[in-house]
Structure 1
Amino acid sequence: MINFFNTYKSELIYTAILIIIVFMIRKVIVLAVKRIGKNSGTSEARAVLIGRYITVTLIGIAFLIEAFILGADTSDITLVFSSVFAVIGIALFAIWSILSNLTSGVIMFFSFPYKVGDKIMIHDKDFPIAAVIEDIRAFQLHLRADNGDLVTYPNNLILQKAVTLVQKDALDNITD
């Protein structure tokens, strides 16, 4: 056992340093995301979701760095990552609409000008919607129409359509 620690002493030290740095970077980024969410008026659940995405990304980067620390050859890492990305690429192509909605949810967290409780009008040629935003989720918006219907609207479509913030009296004029 002592022989193991003596043999891999530098690798173990570098690994410990990597873990500490990753946790510190994660903490700073997650706190920044929560602060951005609080300042923009979004729900804490959305900030936690974005924090999870960031954590998974950081863990992936840490595994890549750890492979170099343990002495893996660049060609071996390239082979593994190209194989993994080929499989992931095929899987994501099969579920591209889900990935599109998920990506749109992340974009909406940082730059969506509307928040829960706002009345909006979605200018869709075939199906215009005037409703109140009840919830903003990872894949869709929950909108409550004036007649009480719950409308789930995909995140990728909300970024593609023109949306107007509507005041209550203006909403009554539009729907009449």
Structure 2
Amino acid sequence: MDNYFTRNQTELLATAVTIALFIIVKLVITKVVKKTGESSKFIEIRTKLVNKYITIILYIITIGILTFIWGVNFKEIGLLFSSIFAVIGIALFAQWSILSNLTAGVILFFAFPFKIGDKVRILDNDINSETIYLIEDIKAFHVSLRKESGELLVYPNSLMMQKAVALIN
């Protein structure tokens, strides 16, 4: 056992540093997202959702770095990874609209000039652009808009970013 630690001292040290950096970066990003959510007056569930997405990305990056540190022979597992990526690629292509709405949801979290309770008008030819909507909720995939008549419109996040939206004072 002592021989193992001596032989892999560099890899073990690099692994410890990588995990420590992962924890520090995760804590810093979590605080930044939380402060952004509080300053923008977003609901806590939305802030937790964005933190979850960022944490998943950090885990993937950390696993990639650890794989590089330990010198995994990519030629031996190349076939496995290429098969997995092919299946994932086909699945993501088939679910492109869901992925774009999810990405737009994260972008809207940081850059959306409106918040829950604001009244807006969507300048879109497919819906009546004179109708005023109340933003009822902002989810990961869609925004819930309520007409003054009580009718609920569930509008995709990707379209919220593509269409002009006017804030009504």
AA in 1 matched with 2:138: I
Deviates more, 1:122-131 or 1:73-82: 73-82
TM-score, normalised relative to structure 2: 0.88
AA in 1 matched with 2:92: L
Q: Is 1:88 equivalent to 2:88 in the alignment?
A: yes
Q: How is 1:27-106 mapped onto 2 (pairs within 5 angstroms)?
A: 27-73=27-73, 82-106=82-106
Cα deviation digits, residues 78-109 of structure 1 (max 9, x gap): 76655443322111001111001101101111
Q: How is 1:73-152 mapped onto 2 (pairs within 5 angstroms)?
A: 73=73, 82-128=82-128, 129-152=131-154
Deviates more, 1:3-12 or 1:146-155: 3-12
What is residue 165 of structure 1 aligned with on the other side? Answer: 167
- List runs of 5+ in structure 2 lacking aligned partners: none
Deviates more, 1:42-51 or 1:134-143: 42-51
SS at match of 1:60: helix
Question: What is the root-mean-square deviation in Å for CA atoms of aligned residues?
Answer: 2.0
- List runs of 5+ in structure 1 lacking aligned partners: 168-176
Q: 1:56 to 1:15 in 2, by over 3 A?
A: same
What is residue 10 of structure 1 aligned with on the other side? Answer: 10
Separation in 2 of the partners of 1:82 and 1:112?
37
SS at match of 1:152: strand
Q: Percent identity?
A: 49
TM-score, normalised relative to structure 1: 0.85
Separation in 2 of the partners of 1:19 and 1:30?
16
